[in-house]
Structure 1
Amino acid sequence: MNPSTRLARSGQVAVRIGAVGYLNARPLTWALDRSPERWQVRYDLPAVCARLLYDGEVDLGLVPSIEYLRSDQYRFVPGVGIGSRGPVASVALFTRRPLAEIRHIAIDTSSRTSVTLIRLLCQHRYRIAPEFVPHGPHLVEMVRDYDAGLLIGDPALEADANALGVTKIDLGAEWTAMTGLPFIYAAWTGRAGVIGVEHVRLLEQAQAEGVASYPAIAAEYAQANGASAQRALAYLRDNMRYGLGPEEAQGLQMFLDYAADLGLAPKRRTLEFFPG
């Protein structure tokens, strides 16, 4: 065990955390930002968070759920996750053609989970085999140069599909329609032993505090824009689902198994959690 791991477990130093700056992550980090003596939080894109965790530069990462399959040492924090059951609004395919006619999709590679999800849906739900082209999260260019574009996070939430003359297909709704289960986009992940039972309790408590603080989080996100604050509040309240209970775990396990079976991850692996 390296020194930072021992210190993090003993509480002698702040736990190094890599988190995502998107609105949907704020309910999990809202309370952590207010305890810098315990949590050292940095914000990056999901893919960067995943790299930092894999390289050992953070102790715990709010990373795309597919990243769990990268290491047998990874564990999830029980009871805490970013998910949806039905429409999520912030993970979507924007297309200018009917689904059956899509030949290529520009994919925002900020999150491997969302990229894997669209691949799974194309295979198992839409029965199409388009070309997937990595692309920056610029929707105008995506749908100008390709049949469709995958966008995630705040850019997907704020995109105006009607103005661009494209159709928005919500991938959270598509997953639940296909499986009947919730979908977990990201969860606190780290190597076995890096945090203890008390840390797990505090992370669960922070999630509860964040969920209770939707109005304040939405107001902070909107920066004094009243209409934007109302949209943000509706998104958190109506689209997002926080937690990682039995149904969420079932949906997450199914997603990871699908990914492994399609060769999009190294191998199948049963969910394992930190003691809590």
Structure 2
Amino acid sequence: MYRAGWIHYTNVAPILDDLVLPAGVNAVTGVPTQMNAALLSGEVDIANISAVEFIRNADQLAALPDFSVAVLGSVYSVNLFHSVPWEDLKRVALTAQSATSVALLEVLLRESGLSPSLERAEGTAQELLAAGYDGVLRIGDSALREWYGVVGPLTETTSMTALPHHKGGVTVTDLAQKWFELTGHPFVFAVWAYRQSAPPPAELLQAMRVARRHGIGHLEEVAQRHAQRLGLPERVVQHYLWNFRYHLEAPDRLGLNEFAAKVAPNHPPLVFGPALPGD
């Protein structure tokens, strides 16, 4: 039995919502840190894992050559909520759910010449800011909801790209947008990696491509489903989803390689599996 470990945030809904696993494949779900650990320990054979874990373990892992979770510019769901200006950050709360987002924040702070205290703490942005942190890193669906709670509401006459990033004493800095301003490249948050000793069956890759093609072609329906679950306007979720780059194209690889150089200068060479015919 081939084992898949899926991180089923909204950002991969266009791939995973309608994925029909072929015979001989089963799947479990979890948060990024859980699936990172499961892949490295051999509990699962393939997972959409944090890019930084792929980089740091490139001697053991290979990535599918045409699947990614990447953005060029704003991502909306990897945010630093802060009550002081970026340059005045002294104490920042970090989530334990995402290694890549933490590593990205560390790179961006270092590139800004900053070295605030970084502490593990879980809770909403508002709770942790009220507890005395200058900044709070939030990721995933909860970060998307909390972002909209600060910058919304979105009216019928306003654009997602025209929403404020500061309200009520809280500033929201989108880390992917800050990466783009620094490098001009997309940021790859996750790749679909597998243990080099256990490449995926061709039937699974084809099923993933079929699911992705269907999900991207029916993005409005995907957004409607997840908007209800998230308690967000459909327009917000649809805009969020169509920002993503799911194919690990040349610009995404440039961004991934630049991030690798900044976060792990002596990393092993990144390995990408052979492409199979199809979408």
Q: TM-score range by the shorter chain?
A: 0.7 to 0.9
Other-structure match for 2:81: 94
Other-structure match for 1:16: 3
CA separation of 1:97 and 1:216: change in aligned 2, threshold 3 A: same
Which secondary structure state, in structure 2, belongs to the residue aligned with residue 77 of structure 1?
Answer: strand
Q: In the alignment, which of 110, 126, 148 is matched to residue 123 of structure 1?
A: 110
Q: In the alignment, which of 149, 154, 164 is matched to residue 136 of structure 2?
A: 149
Which secondary structure state, in structure 1, belongs to the residue aligned with residue 273 of structure 2?
Answer: coil
CA separation of 1:195 and 1:25: change in aligned 2, threshold 3 A: same
Native 8 Å contact 2:75 2:177 kept in 1: yes
Native 8 Å contact 1:107 1:134 kept in 2: yes
**TM-score by structure 1 length?**
0.85
Native 8 Å contact 1:84 1:183 kept in 2: yes
- 1:29-178 to structure 2, matched below 5 A, reads 29-32=16-19, 34-35=20-21, 37=23, 39-68=25-54, 69-124=56-111, 126-144=112-130, 145-159=132-146, 160-161=149-150, 165-178=169-182
AA of the residue aligned to 2:216:
V
Q: In the alignment, which of 197, 202, 221 is matched to residue 226 of structure 2?
A: 221
Q: Which has the higher helix share?
A: 1
1:191-210 C-alpha deviation (Å, 9 max, x unpaired):
11422445434433332222
Other-structure match for 1:244: 248
- The 10-residue stretch of structure 1 (176-185 or 69-78) with the greater mean CA deviation from structure 2: 69-78
Other-structure match for 1:27: 14
- Mapped to 2, the partners of 1:137 and 1:241 lie a distance apart of 29
- 1:189-228 to structure 2, matched below 5 A, reads 189-192=193-196, 193-223=198-228, 228=233
Native 8 Å contact 1:200 1:274 kept in 2: no
Native 8 Å contact 1:95 1:168 kept in 2: yes
CA separation of 1:137 and 1:78: change in aligned 2, threshold 3 A: farther
Bigger relative contact order, structure 1 or 2, given CA contacts below 8 A and separation 6+?
2
AA of the residue aligned to 1:246:
A
CA separation of 1:42 and 1:122: change in aligned 2, threshold 3 A: same
**TM-score by structure 2 length?**
0.85
CA separation of 1:37 and 1:120: change in aligned 2, threshold 3 A: same
Native 8 Å contact 1:19 1:44 kept in 2: yes
Deviation at 1:36, TM superposition (A): 5.9
Unpaired runs of 5+ residues, structure 1, are 1-12, 262-266
Q: In the alignment, which of 164, 187, 190 is matched to residue 186 of structure 1?
A: 190
- Mapped to 1, the partners of 2:139 and 2:21 lie a distance apart of 29
AA of the residue aligned to 2:215:
G
AA of the residue aligned to 2:182:
M
- Mapped to 1, the partners of 2:193 and 2:181 lie a distance apart of 27
Aligned length: 255
AA of the residue aligned to 2:134:
D
Unpaired runs of 5+ residues, structure 2, are 152-166
AA of the residue aligned to 1:47:
T
